[in-house]
Amino acid sequence: MAKDKGPRKPRAETPKGFRDYFGADVTERKAMLDKIAGVYHRHGFDPLETSAVETVEALGKFLPDVDRPNEGVFAWQEDDDWLALRYDLTAPLARVAAQYRNDLPTPYRRYAMGPVWRNEKPGPGRFRQFYQCDADTVGAASVAADAEICAMLADALEEVGIPRGDYVVRVNNRKVLNGVMEVAGILDPNDPEKFEHERGIVLRAIDKLDRLGPEGVRALLGEGRKDESGDFTKGAGLGDEQIAPIMGFLKAGEFTRESTSIQQGLIASSEVFSRHINPVPGVLKALKSLVGASRVGAEGVQELETIASLLAAQGYGPDRIVIDPSVVRGLGYYTGPVFEAELTFEILDEKGRPRQFGSVAGGGRYDDLVKRFTGQSVPATGVSIGVDRLLAALRAKGRMQADTRGPVVVTVMDRDRMADYQKMAAELRRAGIRAEVYLGNPKNFGNQLKYADKRNSPVAVIQGGDEAAKGVVQIKDLFLGAKIAAEASHEEWKSQPAQTEVPRENLVAEVRRLLGAG
């Protein structure tokens, strides 16, 4: 040990972009995830916990958000292999589905919760380790599986405390978009790789509809767009006749967005209301005409129709789940339906301006991920909940009622009677009350009360030699004490109404009374 005593001490710092979670941060997240797991379990999903480490080979090229160049994984070499921390829970699922394909039931419904790691440049609100919470069905080709995931997502949001009306699950289908791209002449069914670059720009432009508005998107489909800072983003270079069907596609979503707003009471016009209360038929009709003769496009519209009718039959109406063509989802690997859960209430941002909370979950169908390993196409669909965002939303709405009270603190007046104090704490615990003995240096009694304050303790128990001789204990109501200290006059304060003396045998009863009242 003496060797470590050199002048250079290690820095006590969480590595850049990582963070530590204390107390309620841990228990509140756990409470939320337990509720979500309950919903998934009731739907027949089984838990899966894969190793945090994968071979880079197994993770493959399926890194998310390909337009950010700094993107990556934490990786290291080991003999001939490269190993890496998983960057999501989907890639490991694809590996598991291939590796255990003879043992797993088909379809395989699984949920997974845990940290993932991204080797990104850290920034404000951008962390390199965060939680995901996923549910996926592997081996079900039917869009009934997609519908189930959407319905389950709605149930999960309500279960954790987001009431109906405060969220909406938006559903789209990549095939419809592909149909529209075919019509726009940037997708050739006979040469799927042609125009890949242009389609990438189109996808990202649509993804930014919320932020840029229709005119901004149109500019990105054409020559390009100059943003407020003066920076120019090169566009896809499409001509007007190519842009038209894509803009029409986005417009088809307006029905939905309007009527969602109505459902959520943001627009009060009863005329608009009666016209758009069920937007599904209108949207589907518009999409059908937009995809024209495209086979894949027609298939996509048909799938959306099936999803909508399955959901409607189970009572998931447009107040909870809607068809919305503007949903794209960035990931390249989606092949069919895509979905996104958005919280529709407003919160105040750091500058006090109201803004929509936005997306907390997303997913879709990815039929080609398992194929990488086995060569055989395996249909799969699933959703991922952004755990930190959903937690932040629940906190913003005051829906996390975690008990942040600290333990009852039994103070130490007489170092030699530690056993007596530990007995008191044990009695309280046996009665189900969180309690501990002060274990710092007991010399300075003020420090003991400061400690109780820091722990947010509701009650302190005090027994000096005199009290022990008389067979009594002092019970101090620390919350009331703090209130009195803040508000009362000096005389009131000195009379110590927050402190009661009770017989030693009444310790548990008196503490319980105070906690009940608190």
Binding residues for L-histidine: 88-90, 118, 132, 136, 329, 333-334
Contacts of 81 (CB under 8 A, 6+ apart): 55, 56, 57
Q: Which stretch binds a second copy (CB under 8 A): 38-46, 161-169, 243-251, 294-302?
A: 38-46
Measured CA to CA, the distance from residue 286 to residue 275 in angstroms comes to 15
DSSP element (H, E) containing 117: strand 108-117
Q: Which of residues 448-487 bind a second copy (CB under 8 A)?
A: 451, 454-455
Residues within window 309-348 making contact with a second copy, judged by CB under 8 A = 309-310, 313-314, 332-333
- In angstroms, rounded to a whole number, what is the distance separating the alpha carbons of residues 265 and 239? 39
Q: Does 137 bind a second copy (CB under 8 A)?
A: yes
Q: 95 or 476, CB closer to a second copy? A: 95
137 or 294: whose CB is closer to a second copy? 137
Number of chain residues interacting with a second copy (CB under 8 A): 99
Residue 503 interacting with a second copy (CB under 8 A): no
CA quadruple 258, 263, 264, 267: dihedral positive or negative? Answer: positive
Contact string (CB under 8 A) for a second copy, positions 280-309, x = contact: -----------------------------x
Which residues ranging from 380 to 409 are in contact with a second copy (CB under 8 A)? 406-407, 409
Q: CA-CA distances (angstroms) from residue 396 to 172, 347, 390?
A: 29, 7, 10
417 phi, psi to nearest 5 deg: -105, 30
**Cα–Cα dist 465/84, whole Å:** 61
Point out which span in 373-381, 384-392, 464-472, 476-484 binds a second copy (CB under 8 A). Answer: 373-381
Instruction: Considering the complex, state which of residue 254 and residue 436 has its C-beta at the smaller distance from a second copy.
Output: 436
The residue among 129 and 233 lying less far from a second copy, judged by its C-beta, is 129
- Cβ 351 to a second copy, closest distance in Å? 27
List the alpha helices (DSSP H) in 100-192: 144-160, 174-183
Q: What is the residue whose two structure tokens read 């307006």?
A: 254
Instruction: Please tell me whether residue 76 binds a second copy under the rule CB under 8 A.
Output: yes
Closest approach, Cβ 195 to a second copy, in A, equals 14
Binds a second copy (CB under 8 A): choice among 1, 268, 293, 486: 1
Candidates 266, 348, 439, 517; binder of a second copy (CB under 8 A) is 439
Torsion angle of C-alpha atoms 43, 45, 46, 52, degrees rounded to 10: -140
Distance of alpha carbon 318 from alpha carbon 336, whole angstroms:
21
The three-state secondary structure class of 182 is helix
Restricted to residues 415-434, the positions that interact with a second copy (CB under 8 A) are 418-420, 422-423, 426, 429, 432-434
